[in-house]
Amino acid sequence: MVKYIIKRILLLIPILLGVSAIIFILKTFTPGDPARQILGNNATQEQIDAKRDELGLNDPVPLQYVRYIGGVVTGDFGDSYRTGEPVLKEILPRLGVSGIITLGAVFIGAVLGVLLGILSALKKYTWVDSLVLVISMFFQSVPEFVVGLFLILIFAVNLHILPANGIETPLGFIMPMLCVGLASIASYTRITRSSMLEVMGEDYIRTARAKGQTEGKIVYSHALRNAIIPVVQSIGTGLANSIGGGMVIETVFAVPGVGKYIVDSITQRNYPSVLGGALIIAFVLTIINLLVDIAFVIIDPRLKTTIIAGGAKRKKAAKPKAA
């Protein structure tokens, strides 16, 4: 198992190199001079040139890239042009905020999605099925910020039960989670529905029925455990997409998340923060994908024996079988 994890972690290195390389390339094409952004609009040309030298912006791009990667390896992501704080110190709390919202949203989306998926699979081609489809599709068909603004309108402005924006009180997390979660219900429902339909047709379900097992237990203990595997995969991608992509929601609800931090940094041409943010997201993504694969292995024993046990298990199984 450890060997497998190490292999996956090593895979992280090419990804991080790739991400930083691409951003460096994009950086050279984007107009707007970071030095001017730091010094403000009325800095003189000499000051700007001095600043560019100080930041090493005039060096050839490959040299800057190598110096940056050298820093990253030692954990020094450089300082943000805008505030001078170390980039890590600014990103980590924001990563926490984005993480909480993403986890909450995926939880809402997955739980509701799976339940609705099972319901519509069991009641295939009935009005329940199409009603579930319509409801789950509704939130996926409306732009995120429209849902966000209407949620604020309803819960904060008219009902005064949730704060309109900001996360001083933990209540502030509820609406962003709801917004992102509701949008993802449709995909989880659809995936659960089709994989449930597939699993319910399998032979071992018929064997379970032949045992006299109740329909409810068959659905939850037999069918769901098999049907959940593709759902876990899409949960992984769901987590991955919303960690970095929460820009719109974080703007509407004024939440200091990673997505907004990176986009603000792009507007301010604050490249160390942009690079730091993207690398952190890449790192988190790889960890999420790894966790999803591990979850696979725990849920699906067929993988466990091939991946984790590797040598050990195979030796034992080869023992001569009883007649």
Partner 1 sequence: MKLRKLAAILLSAVMVVSMASVASADIIGADVDAPNTTKTDETLVVTLASEPSTLWGAAAGQVENEAEIIIAATQDTLVKSDKATGEALPNLATEWEWLDATHCQFKLRDDVVMNDGAPLTADDVVFTANVWKEYSANNDTGRYIAGAEAVDEHTVVIEFTTECPDLVNMMSWSNFGIVNESGVEAAGGIEACAKNPIMGCGRYIFKEWVSGQSVTLERNENYWDLDYAGYFKTIVVKFTNDPAAREMAIESGDSQVAADMPVIQATAYQGSPNVNVVIYDFGQVTHLWYNMTEGHPTADQKVRQAIEKAINYEALAMVGTGGSATQALGYLSPSSPYYHELYTLEERALDIEGAKALLAEAGYENGLELTILGLQDSVPTYTVIQENLRAIGITLNINTPDTASFVGDAFGGNYDLIVVGEWIPNRNPSAYVFVSEGQIASGFVIGGPKVTTPELEALRQQIITEPDNATANGYMEELETIMKNDTITTNLYPELKAAVIAKDLKGFGTIERGFMDITTLYK
Partner 2 sequence: MSGNILSIKDLVIHYETQEEVVEAVNKINLDLNKGEILGLVGETGAGKTTTALGIMGLLPPKVGHVIQGNIFLEGEDLLKKSQREMRSIRGKKISMIFQDPMTALNPVKTVGDQIAEVIRLHERCSKAEALKKAQDMLAMVGIVPERYKEYPHQFSGGMKQRIVIAIALACEPELLIADEPTTALDVTIQAQILDMMRKLQKDKGTSMILITHDLGVVAEMCDHCAVMYGGEIVEYGTVEQIFDNPKHPYTKALYRSIPSLDQDVERLHVIPGMVSDPSNLPTYCTFYDRCEECNEECGKHDPWIVDIEPGHWAKCFRYTPEWTGTPVADPAETQGEGK
Partner 3 sequence: MAKMHTPAMEKIERRNARRKKPVKSTPAYESWKRFKRNKTAMIGLVVVCILILVAILAPLIAPYDYQTQDYTAMLQKPSGAHLFGTDQFGRDIFSRCIYGARYSLVIALFCTIAALFSGGLLGIIAGYFGGKVDTIIMRIMDIFQSIPMIMFAMCIVAVLGNGIPQLVCAIMFASMPTMARNNRAAILRVRGSDYIEASEAIGVGQWKMILKHMIPNAAGIMIIFFVGFLAVSILMMSSMSYIGVGLAAPTPEWGLILNDGKAYMMTAPFMMIFPALMIMVTCFAFNLLGDGLRDAFDPKMK
Site pattern 261..300 for partner 2 (x: CB under 8 A) = --------------------------------------xx
Binding part of the chain for partner 2, among 56-64, 181-189, 221-229, 285-293 by CB under 8 A, reads 221-229
Please give, one letter per residue, the 3-state secondary structure of 237-255. Answer: HHHHHHHHCCHHHHHHCCC
Residues binding partner 1: what is the number (CB under 8 A)?
Answer: 53
Among positions 9, 214, 220, 310, the unique one binding partner 2 when judged by CB under 8 A: 214
Tokens found for residue 233: 């995969």
Binding partner 1 by CB under 8 A: which of 10, 28, 267, 315? 267
Site for partner 2 in 185-204 (CB under 8 A): 202-204
Helix, strand, coil distribution of the chain in percent, nearest 5: 80, 0, 20
Report CA-CA distances (Å) from 69 to 74, 80, 87.
9, 16, 14
Q: Which residue in 2, 10, 134, 323 binds partner 3 (CB under 8 A)?
A: 134
* 47 touches 36 (CB < 8 A): no
Give the count of residues interacting with partner 2 (CB under 8 A). 25
Nearer to partner 2, 131 or 299 (CB): 299
Task: Please report whether residue 145 would count as binding partner 3 according to CB under 8 A.
Answer: yes
Binders of partner 1 among 86-115, rule CB under 8 A?
A: 90, 93-94
Residue 163 vs 277, nearer CB to partner 3: 277
CB of 226 to partner 3, least distance (A): 14
- Alpha-carbon span 65 to 51, nearest angstrom: 18
Whole-angstrom Cα distance, residue 96 to residue 108?
Answer: 18
- Choose which of 4, 8, 15, 123 interacts with partner 3 (CB under 8 A): 15
Quote the longest CA-to-CA distance of the chain: 91
Contact pick of 109, 181, 259, 276 for partner 3 (by CB under 8 A): 259
For residues 251 and 145, give the distance between their C-alpha atoms in angstroms, rounded to a whole number.
Answer: 9
CA distances from 114 to 5, 61, 81, 242, 269 (A): 29, 48, 45, 19, 42
Establish if 315 lies at the interface with partner 2 (CB under 8 A): no
- Shortest distance, CB of residue 225 to partner 2, whole angstroms? 5
How far is C-alpha 53 from the chain's CA centre? Answer: 37
**119 lies in the binding site for partner 3 (CB under 8 A):** no
Per partner kind, with CB cut-offs from 5 to 8 A, the member of partner 3, partner 1, partner 2, none near residue 63 is none
